[in-house]
Each structure stands twice: as structure tokens, then as C-alpha cells.
Chains A and B, each alone.
Chain A
Amino acid sequence: EAQVTQNPRYLITVTGKKLTVTCSQNMNHEYMSWYRQDPGLGLRQIYYSMNVEVTDKGDVPEGYKVSRKEKRNFPLILESPSPNQTSLYFCASSPQYTDTQYFGPGTRLTVL
């Protein structure tokens, strides 16, 4: 089944404890992206990747890192999480940057 998977789905952590949210797609898509969803703000793009080893900042990149070492994986790294990063995170992929995006199920992160 074609899909985007994210892990973990739920995570409660404490301020400053490094964490990684994984994202994987099995559709051989070139473009991948991370978003955060907050009430009243919609989805905001954190980082995106056009292909392996090619990444760029979205609108809200501060406090996040990404890497794209393999085409299928695009992990989101929070080196030192803070409470303002409490949010619902979505990973998405698309065949090309012009195309429809396929979204993962989301990761609900709480930073205490």
C-alpha cells in the first residue's frame, strides 16, 4: 500500500531532550516536507526537500533540523525542544514539487 508513515504517533517529552520524528514514504517521491499544525494558524511549512541531500527552509524552521540521506526517509530533529514546539506535526511527500502531496497520519508532540 502506498503510504507515508510517521513515528512516533504520540510523544510527550521534556524541555531540552533531543528527539527525532521519523518519516518514510514508499512511493519513490522526490519531494518531501514537514509541517506543523496549530489551532488558528493552519499548517505551516517547517522544511522541505527536493531530493536526496537537497533541503531548504520553509516558513518556520527555527528550532528544527532535517536530513535527507535516502530518498524514502526525511526525519525531523528537535535538538533542544521547547514548550512552544508542542504541536501536531505532519510529514508529506509528492512525486514532484508541482504535485499533490500525500500526508502521513501525524505526530502529536507535547513538550513539558
Chain B
Amino acid sequence: AQSVAQPEDQVNVAEGNPLTVKCTYSVSGNPYLFWYVQYPNRGLQFLLKYITGDNLVKGSYGFEAEFNKSQTSFHLKKPSALVSDSALYFCAVRVPFRGGYQKVTFGTGTKLQVIP
């Protein structure tokens, strides 16, 4: 069964400092990996995805993520954090299942707090 782990419930970072939100996965087959962000009282919004190709993926709002197959990780990064980046971040994985039908598994989420 596929699974996604976000080992940190909360990450605190000072404004202007680089940030990393960690995600590791366990799947059989080639994964499609996603990061979503949830602001308070809102639905989830797409940030970036890895399907194939370059291991470094760039997404919305200056975020990027690096796919590392050997470490089965897909950590989210940003060079300089903004207070407005404070939100709940979810990693998700999709894997081919039953001839093309795909389930989606989300991590438990990491709350990012950017301190002014």
C-alpha cells in the first residue's frame, strides 16, 4: 500500500530565511508527487508536481521541490520565507492502480509558521 509521511507537524522559520518542509513516500511503481497548500478556512491549492523528468520542480509563489528517488523523498523548499507563506502544507502521491485507476494518498500535513 502506498503511504506518505510528513515527519514534522510544524515548522517554524524566520522571515527571509530558507524553508524546507519534508515529505517521504512509499509506493510500488512510479509515483506522481504533488504539494498543496491550505490557508485557513480555505480549500487546498496546488503548488507543484513531479511526474517525470528533471528532479527539481519549480512551482507557484517561489516554491520548489526536489524528487529524490533513492531516498524516496520530495521535500518542499523556498529560498526566502515570507510571513504570507504561513499555512498548512500537504504532500500527496498518486500511483497507477488497477490498470489506470488511481488512488490518492495525502500526508498528515505540516503547519508552516513564518515569524516576522
Contact = CB atoms under 8 A, between A and B. Distances in A.
A100 interface: yes
Contacts of A4: 43
Interface string A1-36: 000100000000000000000000000000001010
Interface residues on B, range: 20 to 34
Contacts of A43: 44, 90, 92, 106, 109
Contacts of A90: 43-44
Nearest to A91: B43
Given A42-B108, A48-B104, A98 B32 contact: yes
Given A105-B43, A106-B43, A100 B104 contact: no
Given A43-B90, A103-B43, A97 B101 contact: yes
B104 to A, nearest CB: 5
Contacts of B45: 103
A105 B104 contact: no
B69 interface: no
B34 A35 contact: no
B42 A105 contact: yes
Given A100-B46, A105-B42, A106-B43, A58 B90 contact: no
B104 A98 contact: no
Interface of A: 4, 33, 35, 40-45, 48, 50, 56, 58-59, 90, 92, 97-98, 100-106
Interface of B: 6, 32, 34, 36, 42-46, 49, 51, 90, 92, 94, 98, 100-109
9 contacts: A42-B90, A43-B44, A48-B103, A50-B100, A50-B101, A97-B100, A98-B51, A100-B46, A101-B104
